[in-house]
Chains A and B, each alone.
Chain A
Amino acid sequence: MEIKTSEAGGVTFVHMSGRLTSATSGQAYDELVRVAQSGTKKLVVNVSDLDFIASSGLRSILVAAKMLKGSRGEIRICGANDTVKKIFETSGFDSLIRLCADENEAVASFEA
């Protein structure tokens, strides 16, 4: 699993690639919590190069989403493949966090 963070136009992008397994989720947790605490108000988690995500990865995203909610920030997830989408949906994450097709749609949804 690789994780890269960048910023553009007041939006923070966290790009994950590979497999978010129970073994690699600690790395994702640390980075998502760091970003959520950095004061960003708009966070896009780009999972378009993520093969799959285990529950420990879901927990990391949920913790970041709770933190952002507490600081009146917003979070979007974009680019989920069918497996990742199914995992988000069956975990009820789609009712908590808006899933977008790509980064453009995610960024546009903040302005809406």
Chain B
Amino acid sequence: MRLKNDLGEIDRCLSRLDEFCTRFALPAEIHRAVAVALDELLSNIISYAFRDDDEHLIEVEMAADQEQFRAIVRDDGVEFDPFTRPPADITSDIESRPIGGLGIHLVRALMDDVSHRRVDGKNVIILIKRMGK
């Protein structure tokens, strides 16, 4: 499916994910984990990837077989590999715990495999969640 770079579009993507998970009878655990990962990833892309005010299209592909669910997200924003960011601070006490930086941490933690490549001027991110985990 194709989304515009508008935060309101994330809900449309999550609705499509709901349909997909229902059609393939995917377990709730996988459905929820992928929903959070896509929400985080898309809100990052929509908020930070585009340096102009133009409309951009973000492509999201979903596929599943008996072994895994796979989502591929492509955007034509600035080259950025979110997975090279340093790990989030998850140990300091409540006064000094930073408010941000958890989004990509969650994507990594909830997915079994994540990757980024730059192909033909686009960021291509692949998220993989294995069944039965």
Contacts and interface: CB of A to CB of B under 8 A. Distances in A.
B10 A66 contact: no
A8 B40 CA distance: 35
B11 interface: yes
Given A21-B14, A56-B43, A83-B36, A91 B94 contact: no
Nearest to A65: B94
A91 B36 contact: no
Nearest to A87: B106
Interface of A: prevailing SS:
helix
Interface residues of B, number: 30
A45 interface: no
Of the four ranges (under 10, 10 to 19, 20 to 34, 35 or more), the interface on chain A belongs to 20 to 34
Nearest to B88: A91
19 contacts: A19-B14, A21-B39, A22-B7, A22-B10, A22-B43, A54-B39, A54-B40, A54-B106, A55-B40, A55-B103, A56-B43, A56-B103, A62-B94, A62-B99, A66-B97, A86-B33, A87-B36, A91-B102, A96-B97
